[in-house]
Structure 1
Amino acid sequence: MKLSSLSKASVLLCLSASTVLSPTFAQTRQADTNSQLSSVVSAGQSITESAAESQRKVNQLSEQKLTKLQQFNTVTKELDGLNVYNQQMQAQLDNQMTELSQLADSMEQVSIIERQISPLMARMISTLEEFVVLDVPFLEEERSKRINDLNAMMSRADIAVSEKFRRVLEAYQVEVDYGRTIEAYSGLLTLNGQQTDVDFLRVGRVSLMYQTRDGSQLGQWQQDKQQWQPLSQDYRLGINKALRIARKQLAPDLMLIPLSSTSTSGAE
């Protein structure tokens, strides 16, 4: 069968169009494929980035959890320590409250004690004054001044009761010390109607003697007679030695001095 020229031309035209369209169609399909691959790659990258971000969030939350756990443990330890501390403080507070209660009770008794101790001190001073008057007459001015100071102190409001009581006890202690010490001092004594400068020697309270500066007269206080009694010059060396010992000019040693009784004895 033979085709006409027009049919041949149509066939040739279709073949030519088919030949021209085939590469274009292939290119289009390739472009679609590349686009799909790009979309898949982009989606994969997005998923990867999303997974990485999720992992970062997980890591961050994990770190926060560890930090919170450490903070919780730290706070728990501090709380335990505070509980122990509070228990100790509570125990101290309870003791302080007990002491405050005792102090309150004591303060209630202060006025009563003060009312009792003030008359007691007054009696003690009066007794001390009587004792000094009746005692061996040594350091009369000094001891009288001490008594007068105590009497003046009792009327002062700027001195606490405790300080007043301390001073009264101190005066008693001074008088006690006189009985176990040796002392030499200078003073005036009326001899033969004249004021004479003499050296006094006190040996505790067992003997009170005097010697004039030139050593010409010696004497001893007789407590039972309440007067001075002349002494023999035989005691001069002993009294001189005792005076030097009392003034710390000689080391302590045995010394021969008269006692208040009629007999004589060695005293150290």
Structure 2
Amino acid sequence: MARPEWRLLFAAVAAVLCATVWAQADTVGKVLDLTQQSQRAAADSQKRVEQLDDQTRAMLERYRAALWQTQQLNAYAEQLNGLLAEQQNELAALQQQSAELDRAGQDLLPLMLRMTDSLEQFIKLDLPFLKEERTQRIAALKQSLSDAQLSAGEKFRRLLEAYQIEIDYGRNLGVEQLRIGDSQMDVLRVGRVALYALSPDGAQAQVWDAAAARWQPLPRSARAQIREGIKMARELAPANLLELPVPVAVAQP
């Protein structure tokens, strides 16, 4: 058996060894913990670096997009400046032309008034068709010529339009209803050559005698041709040749 002092020595050595082992194990654990913390910190740092890199890349893309848009806007602004300069030049030219037209309009107004009076007199001496319509057109034309809000060009356009309408009357057929005597009759206008009247029942036919300024009766043979002309004027029959008596103009002494 071992001596008591040796047992005490062994026990002391064992205690020292155990304490050393526990101390080393605790140190290793701390080292491992520090290593894991360092790794986690490094991973976090890497993530932050990657996030910063993504943000920097996104900011760079936005900067490039903004720079490109700025270049496009500058180019567009240059184009607009050119167009604006052209429009300003055109506006100045139009204003000058307008001023010239206004001055010319003042000189043309007496002529337009004389032309209107001549047209009115012509209508009074013409065949008596569409009296109300033509009289109202002359009245509206006179009112336009006295309207200070209308330009000279617009006044002249309306005057020419009235003349054109009167010219067109001489190129086509027309029909209207008029009361002649005690009867309501269909009146056929053949250009400006003659006016023919036919009763609705076809029993009466007349022609306007411009020299006598009155309606004269026509023979029965003219009724069918007048009826055909009325259909043509109303576009109910195709255009065709009409055989109708034409009043002879008499020279004024």
TM-score range (shorter-chain normalised) is: 0.7 to 0.9
User: Tell me, what secondary structure is at the counterpart of 2:95?
Assistant: helix
- Say whether residues 1:98 and 2:86 are aligned partners: yes
Cα deviation for residue 85 of structure 1 reads 4.3
The amino acid of 1:209's aligned partner reads: L
User: Tell me, what secondary structure is at the counterpart of 1:255?
Assistant: coil
Q: Aligned pair in 2 of structure 1 residues 22, 160: CA closer, same or farther (>3 Å)? A: farther
Match of 1:238 among 208, 212, 225: 225
Q: Which has the larger radius of gyration?
A: 1
Which has the bigger relative contact order, CA under 8 A and spacing at least 6? 2
Answer whether contact 2:102 2:151 (CA < 8 A) is retained.
no
| Larger mean Cα displacement after TM superposition, 252-261 or 31-40 | 252-261
Structure 2: give runs of 5+ residues left out of the alignment.
none
Specify the alignment match of 2:51 in structure 1. Answer: 63
Answer whether contact 2:231 2:237 (CA < 8 A) is retained.
yes
Specify the alignment match of 2:176 in structure 1. Answer: 185
Once residues 82 and 103 of structure 2 are traced to their aligned partners in structure 1, the CA distance between those partners, rounded to angstroms, is: 33
Match of 1:218 among 201, 207, 220: 207
Cα deviation for residue 261 of structure 1 reads 6.0
The CA RMSD measured in Å over matched residues stands at 3.7
Once residues 25 and 216 of structure 1 are traced to their aligned partners in structure 2, the CA distance between those partners, rounded to angstroms, is: 158
Q: Aligned pair in 2 of structure 1 residues 28, 197: CA closer, same or farther (>3 Å)? A: closer
Deviations 1:24-83 (A, max 9, x none): 243134313421331233123202321231122113312330342144234414532442
Q: Aligned pair in 2 of structure 1 residues 153, 34: CA closer, same or farther (>3 Å)? A: same
1:48-197 map, 5 Å: 48-117=36-105, 120=108, 123-124=111-112, 126-134=114-122, 136-137=126-127, 138-156=129-147, 164=155, 167-187=158-178
Higher strand share: 1
Structure 1: give runs of 5+ residues left out of the alignment.
1-14, 263-268
Once residues 171 and 160 of structure 2 are traced to their aligned partners in structure 1, the CA distance between those partners, rounded to angstroms, is: 18
Once residues 217 and 66 of structure 1 are traced to their aligned partners in structure 2, the CA distance between those partners, rounded to angstroms, is: 101
Once residues 38 and 65 of structure 2 are traced to their aligned partners in structure 1, the CA distance between those partners, rounded to angstroms, is: 40
Match of 2:14 among 11, 26, 46: 26
Once residues 122 and 171 of structure 1 are traced to their aligned partners in structure 2, the CA distance between those partners, rounded to angstroms, is: 17
Answer whether contact 1:245 1:251 (CA < 8 A) is retained.
yes
Specify the alignment match of 1:257 in structure 2. Answer: 244
Once residues 120 and 196 of structure 1 are traced to their aligned partners in structure 2, the CA distance between those partners, rounded to angstroms, is: 46
Specify the alignment match of 2:26 in structure 1. Answer: 38
The amino acid of 1:253's aligned partner reads: N
The amino acid of 2:67's aligned partner reads: L
User: Tell me, what secondary structure is at the counterpart of 1:257?
Assistant: coil
Answer whether contact 1:218 1:230 (CA < 8 A) is retained.
yes
Q: Aligned pair in 2 of structure 1 residues 77, 231: CA closer, same or farther (>3 Å)? A: same
Answer whether contact 1:197 1:212 (CA < 8 A) is retained.
no
Deviations 1:180-237 (A, max 9, x none): 2101224467xxxx898765432223x1224474536434436xxx966958636454
Match of 1:202 among 165, 179, 189: 189
The amino acid of 1:145's aligned partner reads: Q
Cα deviation for residue 144 of structure 1 reads 2.2
Cα deviation for residue 160 of structure 1 reads 6.7
Once residues 26 and 235 of structure 1 are traced to their aligned partners in structure 2, the CA distance between those partners, rounded to angstroms, is: 156
